[in-house]
Amino acid sequence: MVDTETSEHHPSNILIHGQPLKSILLAKYLSLTVDSKLNFNERVSNVCKKANSTRAFIHCNTKNCPQTVKAMAYTTYVRPQLVASTMWCPHTAQNIDSIEAVQ
């Protein structure tokens, strides 16, 4: 329910069952992190951090393996994380550069 008595609608004016909604800057829902301006910067940052961590793990554990095994591990474990992040359409240059830096 929105309090229509005032001309401005602030988040504190929105009530659900008589309780005001809390205003937050970031929300994570189904592994998707969105900020109050609907930016996906935090989401891309989290995906890149996880992909880099996975890539580093693969690098440490496949040092003595042939290049084909390393490539297979990368395409199996790292690339799907990055492909899933692009479905949210990282349209800013900063987000695109972050994703490409992992590759």
Q: What is the pTM of this model?
A: 0.66
Q: What is the pLDDT of residue 7?
A: 45
Q: Using CA atoms, how far apart are residues 10 and 12, in angstroms rounded to an integer?
A: 5
Residue 35 to residues 38, 42, 43, 78: CA-CA distances in angstroms?
A: 5, 8, 9, 25
Which whole number is the average pLDDT over 60-78?
A: 94
- Is residue 69 over pLDDT 90? yes
For residue 98, the tally of other CB atoms under 10 A from its CB is 20
Whether 25 contacts 66, CB under 8 Å: no
Residue 85's pLDDT band, with cuts at 50, 70 and 90, is: low
- Is residue 35 over pLDDT 90? no
